[in-house]
Structure formats: structure tokens, C-alpha cells
Chains A and B, each alone.
Chain A
Amino acid sequence: MAMKGFLDMLPLSLAVIPWGILCGSLAIQRDFTPLEALFMPILVFAGSAQLVAIELMANNVPLATILFTTFIISSRHFLYGLALRDKLKILPLPWRLSLGFLLTDELFALSGTAKSLKGKLRLVYALSASLSFYLFWLAWNFVGIIAGTYLPDLTTLGLDFAIAVTFIALVIPNISNFPALVTVIVAGVLSIIFKLLNWELGLVISAIIAMLAGYITLRVMDEGQLKILKILKVKRK
């Protein structure tokens, strides 16, 4: 199970090579010491928050602004915690702390099924998946720190494509019914609008509205089915 976790996470661990190298090298290019650059992935462990914070810190933006921006970017994790709450809150403290610390977009993407995280084996699976992802993330950052100033500006090379298609490969096979399709379409359209408006909070807001849209669609369909069932019963009589 540990091996399976590692292998299932591997495509995601590899897809963040560009991001990790970028985070490491950008920190060095923005005059972070190697130690500071290394503490970013070790402690913060969040791609987009790291990137944005490095730029803000380099521009001497006030501490409160940096922390607030970090909070906004990271706020999607509240949703992950909520979604996994009933499964994780019953675990002993060491499990909660470690899986909590390692709760990335990537771990959440692998924990979508009803059975996930239930029982010792599936916990070992999740721990091995997320811990290996963490170690890979450190390694890619480390490569970026070492390469540092020797690398050109990586932001313009289209390196974000890898993570986008990885998420596509994870989301598309799970669109198994109409409400899920509605969720994905609403999330896609709104996220574009909010991004063009330059709202940092746009990601979370579009996700929440999309969840509501999917849920309402499900309810409407359920009620529609109930009505049809009632009509059928009446006819049988």
C-alpha cells in the first residue's frame, strides 16, 4: 500500500518539477539566503503561496499584507479539511498532525473516493503518497536553489502547463454524472472571470459557487425522480 501511494502520487510529484525549481530559483534571484529559500518549502510547503510571497517580500511589502495574501491563497485548504473532517478527526494526534501538514491539493485529489483514508492500509497509502510528494517538493526546490541565478526567468516558459494537465487527468475521469459536470463547468467559467478581475479570492469563491451549483442540480434531479416515481405508482394503481 505504501508503494501504491508513492506510485499513484508520482505523476503529480513529477508535474511540479517546474514549479518547485521555479520557487527555489526565484527565492535566490530575489536575494533570499539559501537557508531562507530552503525554509520556504520545508515549513510553508505551498507552491502558489511561496511564489507570491517571495515576490511580495522582495518588494518590501508590509508583513500584514504578506500574511493576509498567504491566508487568502491558502484558504482553499479549509474546504479540504471540511471535506475530510469526519474521516480525519477520529485519528490519533500524530496521524492528524502529519496528514494535516501534508494536506495539499495533490493529496486531496487522491482522497476523493468514499473509501479513502478509512482503515490503516488506506492511511498508510495517503501518508506515503503525501510524504513522498513533500520530499519531491523539497528536492525540486533544492535544485532551484542550487541552480539559482544560472537559470533564466522560468515564468515565461509555460511551465505551469504540466500541473494544469495533471489536474485535468484527475478531474475528467471523475465526471461521472450530470451534477459533477455542472460543478466543473461553473468552476471553470467563474475562475476565468475572477482571474481576469485579478481577485486572489476568486479561486475559493468560484469553487464554493460551483459546489453549490452541483449540489442544487443533484437536489433538483432527485426531486424530479421522486415525482416520476410517484406518477408511476399512481398509474399502477
Chain B
Amino acid sequence: MNLLTIVLMALITFTTRYLFIHPSVPLRLGPKMVKLLSFSAPAVLTAIWVPIIFIQEQELVISPTNPYILGATVAIVFAAKGKSIYLSVGMSMLVFVALKFIFLG
């Protein structure tokens, strides 16, 4: 039963990924649509990361002692200064783990 569910789920995730790159799907993208879609990457990725940072246990946590916010701020500063992804992620993880440790301990 579980296996059948998994196979059906796989069909759904594959379809959502593949459908619009299939050539015979009757759809032509005009220049306006292409321009609109050029904003899709920052839009979707931001809609994924922002709730992780600001919402914990279904509640908005905006406080100066929230390790998520402080860690994310470090990542934003490093990324904005054009540092490598490793440095941005590494430094913010370091700050995050240290703060969690401090505030928990």
C-alpha cells in the first residue's frame, strides 16, 4: 500500500517538473511572460527561506535573541559583500550554532 502511494507521489512530482518542458504542450511564451518568469528564482527561493528564519512552531519570532535572525543577518551581509557561498553559509552557521548553544545553555 505504501509502495503504491510512493509511486503515485513520484508520478505527481515528476509531472510538475516535466510538464512545461515537454515540447508538444501547446504553450508559447511571449516576451512579457519570459520577463515575468525571470523573477521566478528570487521569488520562489525567498518564499522558501524567509518563513524558516522568522517562523518557529507556527509563531512569528522577531526578537534580537533569535539565533535564526542573527545567523541569517550574517549570511545576508556576507552574501551582499560578494563573499563565496561557502564563507556566507559557514560563518552564519557558526554564529547560529554558537547562539543556540549560548541561549540554551
Contact = CB atoms under 8 A, between A and B. Distances in A.
Please say whether chains A and B are actual partners in one complex: yes
Interface of A: 11, 15, 32-33, 35-36, 39-40, 43-46, 49, 53, 57, 63, 66-67, 70-71, 74-86, 88-90, 96-97, 99-101, 103, 105, 108-109, 112, 158, 160-175, 179-180, 183-184, 186-188, 190-192, 195-196, 198, 202-204, 206-208, 210-212, 214-215, 218
B92 to A, nearest CB: 5
Given A66-B5, A162-B89, A172-B79, A78 B19 contact: yes
User: Main SS of chain A's interface residues?
Assistant: helix
Size class of the B contact interface (CB-based, 8 Å): 35 or more
B75 A168 contact: yes
Interface in B71-97: 71-72, 75-76, 78-80, 82, 85-86, 88-89, 92-93, 96
Contacts of B18: 81, 96-97, 100-101, 103
A207 B12 contact: no
Interface in B27-63: 27, 29, 32-55, 58-60
Given A74-B16, A85-B27, A191 B51 contact: yes
Given A96-B22, A169-B88, A207-B40, 11 more contacts: A11-B86, A33-B2, A43-B10, A44-B13, A49-B13, A57-B5, A77-B13, A82-B37, A83-B38, A105-B44, A188-B46
Chain B at the A interface: SS class: helix
Contacts of B85: 11, 166, 169-170
B21 A88 contact: yes
B10 A76 contact: no
B21 A67 contact: no
Contacts of A163: 48-49, 52
B86 to A, nearest CB: 6
B16 A89 contact: no
B52 A164 contact: yes
